[in-house]
Amino acid sequence: MASNPPSDNVASDSYRPQGHFDAAPDAPIQQPKLGFVGYLRFFWRQLTSMRTALFLLLLLAIAAIPGSLVPQVSSDPNGVVQYKANYPEAAAILDTLQVFNTFSSVWFSAIYLLLFVSLIGCVIPRTKHHFDALRARPPKTPARLARLEGFTTREVTADAATAVLEARTLLRRAGYRTEVYGDSVSAERGYLRETGNLVFHTALIGVLVSVGIGGGFAYTGQRVVVEGYAMTNTLASYDSFNPGRFFTDSALQPFSIALDSFTPTYEVENLDALGQPTDFVADVTSTVRGGESQKEQIKVNEPLSIGGTSVFLLGNGYAPLLTIRDPEGTVVFSQPTACLPQDNNLTSNCIIKLPDGLAEQVGMLGFFYPSAVELADGTLASNFPDTINPVISFFMYTGDLGLDNGAGSNAYALTLDNLTQIAGNDSDVPAIKLSPGDVADLPNGLGTIEFTAVPRFVSLDVHHDPTQLWVLVFAVLVVAGLVTSLFIPRRRVWIKVAESRDGVLTLEYAALARGDDPGLDAAVAEIADRHIDQLKA
């Protein structure tokens, strides 16, 4: 890019932060005595300089890297637990440095907050300056146009006043703001470039602020729902719940969602993808309090919108319906048990804990196979995710389930420390194996277990984020501002009657680019040609 000659009308230039290559060079270093205010001003100028902004940007990129190398509490909590178990010493150090929470850590926050303060400190004076420039007249025509870019001359037989007037009309029609100075026209266009730039940067601040506010008022909750059952949007109803800082119970819209049925579709024709899911459909009945019930569908990529809240289908599996009776035939347990899928063919782990009801505390570790096949060594496996031949087998334990100490326990895990196996691979009694409709005796005369049916479950994610739309609006503004600021050329054009001899005019044309402007020379030549054409016409 050619260096820009000094302009004699500073007001219509874009404001340039300190250190911008286009700005006035830094004054030679003098060391005046700085008071407190002086130091504040000094630091503020440093913070809002181009070099600092660039440094902070690059620092932000580097600071984000650890967050991708180490599992994060926010996106992969299980990974964090595992990491801490595998590398306890490294984990302790990383924990101190908040690396497991990189993106909310003090150091990461410090970088992006400084960056945004720097950004605000840059955007505000620029906006003011641009506002002034929008109302300023195009600058006076420079004395020597030949020193500028795209300089070209034309000769034509015409009257000087007409030539100037025509030039002005031509430039106006091309979207330039014009000003006649004597025998010349000064024109400028592309104010939108700076406008776009300011919109882009301001919208970035908008995104950050909306995300910050939204995070405070948002909540997400997860809930497993079995076919034929329903969930309500209340705190107690959730299996897990993550409220924002400013969340209150009143943010929970009163609604309920009943899962009527869940229908997965699995690939059966393409042998390369046998059993791969191709569709998941949850048919639900939703009811907002005081409203009519509605039949609706939730699919992956098609969440349900209800009461300003979105409900997503994030997972599914089987919840075998089991009934356990004591020796007298009294039912002590009868409900579907959501089993955690372990592989693509939905071999699932089921945990049942019976602290009361039977003669002893009983823990059951189940393995559910939707399409059971027996392997050569006699063990079972599932070879398709749908229920072609559902079988559930149980290892049974008695002893202390560890539920009495008051500490919370994971419903999907069985702590075997104080339990003795009474049926399964380590005991004399083989594992209990059941198909739907089967009833089997429990060992030690504890009672019976019946396997009735295999309903499916879905795990629903309920999200509420009141500022989500704002984030989107600002994001769209970011793109619009970016495109405008990068691709609209900001240029000044001058047309000048240089000489008038015997009715023959020598016209000069030249331009000046503000920023990257690949088509400048061509644009000047085109303006010159059109101007001459009009004068000849």
Number of amino acids touching other proteins (CB under 8 A): 61
Please, which residue, 30 or 270, has the CB nearer to other proteins? Answer: 270
User: Which stretch in 140-148, 150-158, 271-279, 395-403 sits in contact with other proteins by CB under 8 A?
Assistant: 271-279
**Contact flag: residue 79 with other proteins (CB under 8 A):** yes
**Contact flag: residue 94 with other proteins (CB under 8 A):** no
Please, which residue, 300 or 381, has the CB nearer to other proteins? Answer: 300
**Contact flag: residue 58 with other proteins (CB under 8 A):** yes
DSSP 138: P
Please, which residue, 34 or 476, has the CB nearer to other proteins? Answer: 476
| Cα 281 to Cα 274: distance, rounded to the nearest angstrom | 19
Q: Identify the residue among 152, 220, 342, 427 touching other proteins (CB under 8 A).
A: 220
Residues 6+ apart with CB under 8 A from 469: none
Quote the radius of gyration of the chain (alpha carbons, Å). 37
Strands 391-399 and 309-318 turn out to be unpaired
User: Which stretch in 72-80, 416-424, 426-434, 499-507 sits in contact with other proteins by CB under 8 A?
Assistant: 72-80
The b/e string for 354-371 (b: 16+ C-beta within 10 A; e otherwise) is beebbeebbbbbbbbbbb
Which SS3 state, helix, strand or coil, does residue 118 take?
helix
- CB atoms under 10 Å from CB of 498, counted, come to 14
Binding mask 295-314 for other proteins (x = CB under 8 A): ----xxxxx------x-x-x
| Cα 121 to Cα 124: distance, rounded to the nearest angstrom | 6
Q: Identify the residue among 276, 293, 334, 418 touching other proteins (CB under 8 A).
A: 276
Which SS3 state, helix, strand or coil, does residue 534 take?
helix
Which SS3 state, helix, strand or coil, does residue 436 take?
coil
**Contact flag: residue 106 with other proteins (CB under 8 A):** no
**Contact flag: residue 342 with other proteins (CB under 8 A):** no
Closest approach of Cβ 280 to other proteins, in Å?
5
For 364, what's the count of Cα atoms within 13 Å in the CB-facing half-sphere? 26
**Contact flag: residue 272 with other proteins (CB under 8 A):** yes
- 504: β partners: 157, 501
- CB atoms under 10 Å from CB of 177, counted, come to 18
Please, which residue, 179 or 296, has the CB nearer to other proteins? Answer: 296
Please, which residue, 92 or 472, has the CB nearer to other proteins? Answer: 472
Q: Identify the residue among 479, 504, 529, 533 touching other proteins (CB under 8 A).
A: 479
User: Which stretch in 17-25, 158-166, 252-260, 317-325 sits in contact with other proteins by CB under 8 A?
Assistant: 17-25
Q: Which amino acid is at 493?
A: V
| Cα 234 to Cα 251: distance, rounded to the nearest angstrom | 10
Token readout for 158 is 């015409």
What residues make contact with other proteins under the rule CB under 8 A? 1, 19-23, 25, 50-51, 53-54, 57-58, 60-61, 64-65, 67-69, 71-72, 74-76, 79, 102-103, 211, 220, 267, 270, 272-273, 276-280, 299-303, 310, 312, 314, 461, 463, 468, 471-472, 475-476, 478-479, 482-483, 486, 516, 518
